Structure 1
Amino acid sequence: MGRVVLFELSSQDPERAANFYSSVFGWKIAEPNWGYQSATTGNDDKPGINGGISKGPSDFPHGTRIQIEVENIDEAIKNSIALGAQVVRGKMEFDHFYLAYLVDPVGNGIGLIQNK
């Protein structure tokens, strides 16, 4: 079962967004890594998820995406396409995970993440 494990806020002014969320909600915002700033939204002893803030690319300049953890990203991409999703960014490799961005059949932006 795919589980929502992160959120990603895209912004053309990520520093301003980081300042807003840290000031209003007390989120702990990390220094940028790959242009992405991790956001810790609370303690692990309460329900909730963490996420991050990044400068949105031209095809997703602002908005929120959820990241869904999958066991096999290649299979999840294939099944998503078969059910009408569009791939925005194909499988990308990072140090500890693979990531892909899709738009579901009704227009919602999602990310698929597979840990290595």
Structure 2
Amino acid sequence: MGRVVLFEMNSQDPKRAAEFYSTVFGWKIADPNWGYQPVTTGDNDKPGIDGGISMGPSDYPHGTRIQIEVEDIEQAISKSKELGAQIVRDKMEFDDFYLAYLVDPVGIGFGLIQNK
């Protein structure tokens, strides 16, 4: 079962977004790393779903996407396409994981992540 493991908040003013969410909700927001600010929404006693805030790219300038962890990202992409999803960004490789962005058949954007 794919589980939601992260969220991404894209904004054209990520600094302002980070200030808002840290002030209103007490989220811990780390310094930017490659333009992405990691967000912690809980702790060991009361965990939350963590994520990040970044400058939204041209294909997703603002909004929130969930990241769904899968065991086989290529299989998940293929099955998603068969059922009408569109690929926004195909499988990308990072140091510890693979990532892809898709839009489901009704227009909801989401990410797929596979740990190495």
- TM-score, normalising length: structure 1: 0.96
Query: Which position in structure 1 is the counterpart of 2:30?
Result: 30
Query: Which position in structure 2 is the counterpart of 1:72?
Result: 72
Consecutive unaligned residues of structure 2, counting only runs of 5 or more, are none
In the alignment, is residue 112 of structure 1 matched against residue 112 of structure 2?
yes
Distance 1:24 1:71 in 2: 35
Consecutive unaligned residues of structure 1, counting only runs of 5 or more, are none
Map 1:1-20 onto structure 2 (within 5 A).
1-20=1-20
Percent of residue pairs identical = 78
In the alignment, is residue 51 of structure 1 matched against residue 62 of structure 2?
no
Distance 2:3 2:59 in 1: 25
Distance 2:29 2:71 in 1: 28
- TM-score, normalising length: structure 2: 0.96
Report the aligned-residue RMSD: 0.9
Distance 2:101 2:23 in 1: 29
Distance 1:39 1:58 in 2: 22
Return structure 1 stretches of 4+ with deviation > 2 angstroms: 44-48
Q: Deviations over 1:35-86 (max 9, x none)?
A: 1111000113325311110100011000000000000001100000000000
CA contact (8 A) 2:40 2:48 kept: no
